[in-house]
Structure 1
Amino acid sequence: MSLSSDRKYLELHGNQWRVVVNVPKKLHAKLGTKLKKPLGTDSLREANRLKWDALADLKATIAHAENPSLSLKAARSASRQQAIQQAVQFAEQRRTAFDPAQRDEIDEEIDWQAESLAGRPIATDEGGYEIFDPERLRLAKDFSQLARGDRTPIDLYHEKFLAMSHVKARTQADDKRAIKLLKDWCSKAGVPPYLQAMTKKEAVRFCDELPTLAANLSPVTLNKYVSRLSVYWTWLENRHEVDSNIWQGRRLREPQQTTDQKERPFTDDEVEILLKGPAEQKMHDLMRIAALSGARLDAIVCLKVKDCRDDGVFVFKPQKKEPGPRLCPIHPDLIEIVERRKKGKAPEDDIFPEWPGVKKSDSLRERSFKTSNEFTAYRRIVGVEERREGKRRGLVNFHSFRRWFITKAEQAGQLESTIAVVVGHKRQGMTFGVYSGGPLLQQARECVEAVRLPPNLLA
């Protein structure tokens, strides 16, 4: 909408325009129903240029009334965000304006708005030149550059990117941490925090200096954040907001792990100790399902009655990069456990109600968080533990059941591609990875049944 027709926040009083803002109902007794400020002009175009300064003052008054401890200066910071959002709208209009005359009109409106944001001069110097408030002048400059597409804050489109990302809340939290790390680095390195300033050279500098910036984080974690930046930049590239993905191929060097430092499967003796130990029934059932399905902990804990089908198949929810629910034949040694846990329950009831989901809707923790803690405590009680100096995690954990299942399936002569489908791994090679629809259910069942618990354990 042009400055000559926009009446938002404006009303005529006599033949002069003024700004009008509605006051929240809870503040009516304190401020009245509306706040008004005259602009001293009968020109709608001029009123649109002047209104933002007055609007910021009125909204700051309301914010200060809501929270008296908030300074008027802090309350006015909201007007900056509003100006930035308006600049984004101008930039989008400018980008789609192919008519030179239309673009000139938009540029003129951008200039008028920038002048309004800069405000009136606060003084003049000895040469008679006008001096403006530095903070407002900086806002006006940022507004103009953003509106003209010359500068784009690196996080401007990040919320939109997250809204369009089909990833877990924990991954979205990683995205936000990655952007914060990049902005912090820009501040310390003196790099303007704009997409236009981020080149491949700056990406290399960021990766080189990241271990110092986040000294408490491991290279593995830092690489995860660099990877999330790469996903964001790819999204920006596809939308023509950047020319290329500057993060592609960027990785921090990770310490070389020797064989004795890597997390490993349980041994048969350890599986026997765990399954013969003094665990509660819920833990015994959980461990046996893990050992004889190779499923991840959260997928097991989230099972519902309907997911344990009468035709002898588990339906595990998608994990990691799985495109959808995964079928896994139920091992014969698990039938008694499954039937016992299904008895008397409705299809939507939980198989493991002992571990309900987290209560807070905004929690990033998986449902299995407490389950994992309980298993770790039990595992240590029975003495199944192996640690290495300098490593936060032990070399065995609940995931070691999954590793044990895969190892036993391989030792039983099962095809790697079939094992990959059963446990939800991406299959290697063109034939099985792209063109194959997957092994028949009977092949998967043979793979699962080829895995047997240690002979000293009863089924």
Structure 2
Amino acid sequence: MPAPRNADRRFLELHGNKWRVVVNVPRDLRSAIGKTKLKQSLETDSLAEANRLKWIVFEALQAQISQLQSPETARAEALRLAALRRRIEDAGTDPHHIDLEIVSRAEELAGKPVGVDREGQPVFDPRKEDVAVQFADVAFGRRTPMDAHRKTYLDQLNVKARTRADDERAMGYLLDWCKREGVPAFLETFGKREAVRFADAFRAPKGRSPVTLNKYMVRLSIYWKWLESRHAVDANVWAGRTYTVPRVLNEDKERPFTEAEMVKLLSGQASQQMHDLMRIAALTGARLEAIVDLRVKDCQDGTFTFKPQKKEPGARDCPIHTDLKAIVERRVAGKSPEDDLFPEWPPVRKKGSMRERSFKASNHFTNYRREVGVDDVREGKRRSLVNFHSFRRWFITTAERSGQPESTIQTVVGQKRASIAFGVYSGGPSLDQLRTCVEAVRLPTSEDRATAPERLASAQAG
């Protein structure tokens, strides 16, 4: 037989001979509130009277907590309880005390009943009740939203801003599809069948290449793999879920500059900084971002120290070519070690921008390249087959044709060396070997090795 309603002791405790309301403060808000529980006396020794008075006081105390609590806070608390519950179950222990805490917290979120139904059962505010149900579903591990762990995941993700944006965009595409198709977006219910459906639908729109589509599929796979490592999902439903990339013929691949194109680029009416930039790229094989990010202190003792790019494990040294010494001396003169070598292209200052520092330098070069007639646009290709990266391809090609060892060329340009012997066991070529490799690369003609000011003066005089 159920206890009479006036004997209900929920949110009540006897203090001395008076009843008072007690509300637990969520763990993540205790430091902000400074207490683990909020308490207020009802100034009565009658339990029946305390039950009549408690709800007004309970709502007031709950309001204090709600002012500091957001949906994200409640979700974080539910995820914490769910993780704790899983650990207890994995240890073979009954999570009964955690279940009681979940039920108690869900009741707090549901708030005071706003009435009773025809059967005399309490009726709650629909919005608060929905929050309470979602909290309980997450905490009990029944329905965890796909993006519930995203903040923790992104905080641990050590990638560039553009890759992070791709990651978030991929999740956005998935959540939009779930909403559009009426697919529940929960980790517990989203399986391989749903992943296949999404992959088929994602491939349908025109305009996206398989390479671009695979980029997003990989980001989803990495997230699910991370969830699997935390026992948040049973398996990575995206494993092996990629699109076939059509074979690209040699004539359709991005390529090095030809000798004639190099002459056009190095003898054209470009700005001083562009002439300097092109020559450093051509005689180091370095990527654009690494070059524009150089500082004075990175150009010491006859070497450039380039910051790591792509999958490089750390900064690398590249000997400064003889034909670049005058450029470097001019650019470091009168500057401090922390000054930029290319202040003409400063870092992006807009907060939250995903653009790399080299963005404007890349646009500058593209405009100049087109002006001098160096272009190779093919139907169906998004960009020209020649671009700033073609300097890197040209350096590698020229070094190889000059008889330099492949492993040495790979070290100079920061590529992973192919064999286990060179890539794992070798300490790498000496600085003298790297210098020999760099010096083996020469610009097309002696005229093109002249300094930019001499070419510009000659052009103006003509």
Superposition TM-score, scaled by structure 1 size: 0.81
**Aligned partners of 1:41, 1:145: CA distance in 2, in Å?**
37
Q: Whole-Å Cα distance in 1 between the matches of residues 180 and 348 of structure 2?
A: 38
Match of 2:276 among 275, 285, 290: 285
In the alignment, is the contact (CA less than 8 A) between 1:18 and 1:40 conserved in 2? Answer: no
Q: How does 1:267-278 map to 2 (within 5 A)?
A: 267-278=258-269
Matched, 1:195 2:224: no
Q: Hey, what's the Cα distance between the residues in 2 that align with 1:47 and 1:445?
A: 86
CA contact (8 A) 1:19 1:54 kept: no
**Residues 409-420 of structure 1: pairs in structure 2 closer than 5 A:** 409-420=399-410
Q: CA RMSD in A?
A: 3.7
The residue type equivalent to 2:286 in the other structure is A
Question: In structure 2, what is the equivalent of residue 248 of structure 1?
Answer: 239
Q: Displacement, 1:179?
A: 1.6
Deviation at 1:46, TM superposition (A): 13
Shift of 1:279: 0.8
The CA distance in 1 between the partners of 2:292 and 2:154, in whole Å, is 27
- Structure 1 unmatched runs, 5+: 22-35, 64-77
1:374 to 364, 367, 371: 364
d(CA) in 2 for partners of 1:53 and 1:220?
Answer: 55
One-letter amino acid of the structure 2 residue matched with residue 17 of structure 1: V
CA distance in 1, matches of 2:72, 2:220: 24
Instruction: Specify whether residues 52 and 334 from structure 1 end up closer, same or farther in structure 2 by C-alpha distance, changes over 3 A only.
Output: farther
Is 1:301 the counterpart of 2:292? The answer is yes
Alignment equivalent of 2:350, drawn from 328, 343, 360: 360
| Residue deviations 1:186-220 (CA, integer Å, cap 9, x gap) | 222332222222323322222221134x6554332
Q: Provide the secondary structure at the position in 1 that maps to 2:304.
A: strand
> Which amino acid in structure 2 is aligned with residue 397 of structure 1?
N
Residue equivalent to 1:172: 164
Question: How is 1:59-98 mapped onto 2 (pairs within 5 angstroms)?
Answer: 79-97=70-88
Higher deviation after alignment, 130-139 or 257-266: 130-139
Q: Which residue of structure 2 aligns with residue 70 of structure 1?
A: none
Match 2:152 to one of 123, 139, 160: 160
Taking a change above 3 Å as real, the CA distance of residues 187 and 48 of structure 1, as seen in their structure-2 partners, is farther
- Which of the two has higher C-alpha Rg? 2
Provide the C-alpha distance between the structure 2 equivalents of 1:6 and 1:357, rounded to a whole number of angstroms.
Answer: 56
In 2: Cα distance, 1:381 partner to 1:185 partner: 44
Give the alignment of 1:55-454 within 5 angstroms.
79-97=70-88, 103-120=95-112, 132-212=124-204, 217-310=208-301, 312-454=302-444
Q: Distance in 1 between matches of 2:105 and 2:440?
A: 73
Kindly state the Cα deviation for residue 303 of structure 1 after the two structures are TM-superposed: 0.7
TM-score (norm 2): 0.80
Query: SS of the counterpart of 1:314?
Result: strand
Distance in 2 of aligned mates of 1:5 and 1:448: 79
String of CA shifts for 1:208-258, please: whole Å, max 9, x gaps: 21134x655433222111112222222222223223322222212334433
User: How far apart, CA to CA, are the structure 2 residues paired with 1:298 and 1:48?
Assistant: 65
Number of residue pairs aligned between Structure 1 and Structure 2? 421
